[in-house]
Amino acid sequence: MKKVTGIGGIFFKCDDPKAMNEWYTKNLGLDNKGYGATFDWREDEDPSKKGSTTWSTFPQDTKHFSPSTKPFMINYRVENLVELLEELKKDNVTIVDEIAEYEYGKFVHILDPEGNMIELWEPADEPDAENTAG
């Protein structure tokens, strides 16, 4: 079974998320949407499939990374989250929460051996923009 298929997002804590977003927009050209930036791309093996990677800032007091005390969280794109989660349970990996499902995919959080929060994301099918334009 293929597990991680790519990076879904990079999230980090900072003292002033708004100022950081503005700095990255001004100096590095990130197209900030208020929460951060999204980078759209096409899968190498099947260019008809679209994907995205998110870059986002969070305030220092966010609880989104809890129980990890680290200032960052990485989101990994995965295939078949339910099956992967069963394998992780067998290997006694710390599962932080239950699978949550949204219109853009399924999510669950785990901890690595050093307490880093990892977000696993099985994206919902992302339609080809050329085929959905009206």
CATH number of the domain enclosing 101 = 3.30.720
* This prediction's pTM: 0.84
Beta bridge partners of 27: none
Q: Using pLDDT thresholds of 50, 70 and 90, give the confidence band for residue 128.
A: very low
Tokens 């990255």 correspond to 24
Single-letter amino acid code for the residue at 66: S
The total of structural domains in the chain comes to 1
Residue 114 in any domain: the answer is: yes
Single-letter amino acid code for the residue at 74: I
Residue 101, token pair as written in the block: 């499902």
Domain that holds residue 99: 82-126
List of E strands, the chain: 4-14, 36-42, 50-59, 72-78, 94-95, 100-102, 105-111, 117-123
Q: Using pLDDT thresholds of 50, 70 and 90, give the confidence band for residue 129.
A: very low
